[in-house]
Structure 1
Amino acid sequence: MDPFVLAQIIPDVLDPFTTTIPLRITYNSRLIVAGVELKPSAVLSKPRIDIGGNDMRVFYTLVLVDPDAPSPSHPSLREYLHWMVTDIPETTSTSFGMV
């Protein structure tokens, strides 16, 4: 089953979707896959995020939210926005976007 469905990200935070381009996320050279939980100590530095595709005229927005902040048992700050990067061209990393 889809890890986003198991974690109730779909449909609570996102509508169901079909992946159209590859997205690669690494923290300190560790590849992150959907459904993996990370400890705060593992995410102190910003991640490297590479967006696949082949059209530099197509742009994306990447948003990092916490869907059950501060905790799953007490989600009083639902969908807390940690950061957002806009205008990320395909075939590049988020370092080419606007923070």
Structure 2
Amino acid sequence: MVTDIPGTTGPSYGQEILGYESPRPAMGIHRYVFILFQQKRRQTVDAPGWRQHFNTRDFAEFYNLGSPVAALYFNCQRENSSRGRRILLN
């Protein structure tokens, strides 16, 4: 989670609140969502306690973010393989 990104730059110029965590689905298909809000002003944002059950609507309302300006999602599924590690040979 990154806040306070100047509009003409990228996320590396913002304030990182939480680092990126890669997908780690235990089983089944999981949906991952990235949502972009436009802040009206700089503000102090507290990191959420945990990733599971994070409520985006409550977060946006608490920090007065309004509606999202963009969103991206993808589905991820763990391979069901019991063969152990695979070795690639040249």
Q: Same fold (TM over 0.5)?
A: no
More strand by share: 1
Which structure has the larger Rg over C-alpha atoms?
2
**Larger RCO (CA under 8 A, 6+ residues apart):** 2
TM-score by length of 1: 0.28
More helix by share: 1
